[in-house]
């Protein structure tokens, strides 16, 4: 993987943002690879394809590229709020590739990958509507809340200017891929419980520890009045998916 962004063909663009968009898209075409299969290349999607920038020529997995010149914080700006919710419910979100480049060095610095099945409704934040004076007055966008996505599903491809081993990245993806088998309406609960279990900061935990998450889960799923039952159900699902182990009655260990 070459980390230098291409410079050829950028002379005709005056805007820094235009040059960066052309360069990062060209870089991704030559350097990104599929985690869902063994393909070492991605193909550009047809022009004006909504939300999809690349497609794997082998398995047809779709990818969306988000590139910026500063480090990613807790949020990523995304498209229309209602559209994103619909895509999650219909299991049609593309895989996300978040690329951070250094503008001064014109070089890729960090990349992480989020599988399409790792987005829950709770990870999407509604933004205020655009002002009446805006060209698209009233339009409502959204943010992706990265802290609401389990760390298991934020897979590094480049860290501080050093590419990850593709085989290791694919192994990490393979560990969370069983989540894709869940129905979208069930998957949201599973992702939320997994993310909150990770937030406990414990490799091993008890059922009592899991119950401390009840208020937070109740706020995320206000229509459910049996949150503790749901927690126990999700622990069984996470066990069946291979994401945690039952050690003994009421005692669990999260996979590292």
- Give 38-71 pLDDT, tens digit per residue: 999 999 998 778 889 999 999 999 999 999 999 9
Q: Write down the domain spans for the chain.
A: 16-177, 185-254
- pLDDT value at residue 49: 81
- Residues with pLDDT less than 50, the chain: none
Determine what percent of the chain falls in helix, strand and coil, rounding each to the nearest 5: 35, 25, 40
- pLDDT value at residue 44: 94
- pLDDT value at residue 46: 84
Q: How far apart are CA 45 and CA 67, in angstroms?
A: 17
- Intrachain domains 16-177 and 185-254 with the same fold: no
pLDDT digits (tens, 9 = 90+) for 90-101: 999 999 999 999
Q: How far apart are CA 64 and CA 217, in angstroms?
A: 29
pTM of the model: 0.93
DSSP string, 189-245: HHHHHHHHHHHTT-SEEEHHHHHTTHHHHHHH-TT-S-HHHHHHHHHHHHHHTTSEE
Structure tokens at 242: 């291979």
- pLDDT value at residue 166: 97
CATH code 3.40.210.30 for 16-177: yes
CA 6 to chain centre: 26
- pLDDT value at residue 238: 98
- pLDDT value at residue 156: 98
Closest CA to 148 of 119, 113, 172, 177: 119
Q: How many CA atoms lie within 13 A of 196 on its CB side?
A: 24
Domain covering 185-254: architecture: Orthogonal Bundle (1.10)
- pLDDT value at residue 14: 79
- pLDDT value at residue 48: 76
């Amino acid at each position: 993987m070459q980390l230098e962004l291409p410079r050829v063909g950028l002379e005709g663009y005056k805007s820094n943002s235009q040059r960066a968009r052309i360069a990062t898209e060209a870089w991704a075409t030559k350097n990104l690879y599929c985690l869902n299969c063994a393909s070492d290349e991605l193909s550009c999607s047809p022009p004006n394809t909504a939300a999809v920038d690349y497609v794997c020529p082998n398995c047809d997995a779709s990818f969306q590229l988000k590139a910026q010149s500063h480090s990613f914080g807790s949020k990523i700006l995304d498209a229309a709020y209602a559209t994103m919710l619909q895509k999650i419910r219909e299991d049609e979100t593309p895989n996300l590739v978040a690329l951070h480049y250094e503008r001064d060095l014109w070089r890729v610095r960090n990349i992480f990958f989020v599988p399409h099945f790792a987005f829950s409704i709770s990870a999407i934040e509604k933004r205020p509507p655009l002002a009446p004076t805006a060209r698209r007055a009233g339009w409502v966008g959204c943010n992706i809340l990265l802290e609401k996505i389990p760390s298991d599903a934020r897979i590094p491809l480049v860290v501080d200017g050093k590419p990850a081993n593709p085989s290791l990245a694919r192994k990490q993806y393979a560990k969370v891929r069983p989540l894709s088998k869940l129905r979208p309406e069930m998957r949201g609960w599973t992702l939320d419980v997994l993310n909150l279990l990770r937030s406990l900061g414990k490799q091993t935990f008890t059922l009592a520890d899991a119950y401390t998450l009840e208020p937070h889960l109740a706020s995320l799923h206000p229509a459910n009045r049996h949150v503790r039952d749901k927690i126990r159900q999700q622990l069984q699902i996470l066990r069946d998916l291979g994401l945690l182990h039952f050690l003994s009655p009421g005692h669990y260990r999260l996979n590292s």
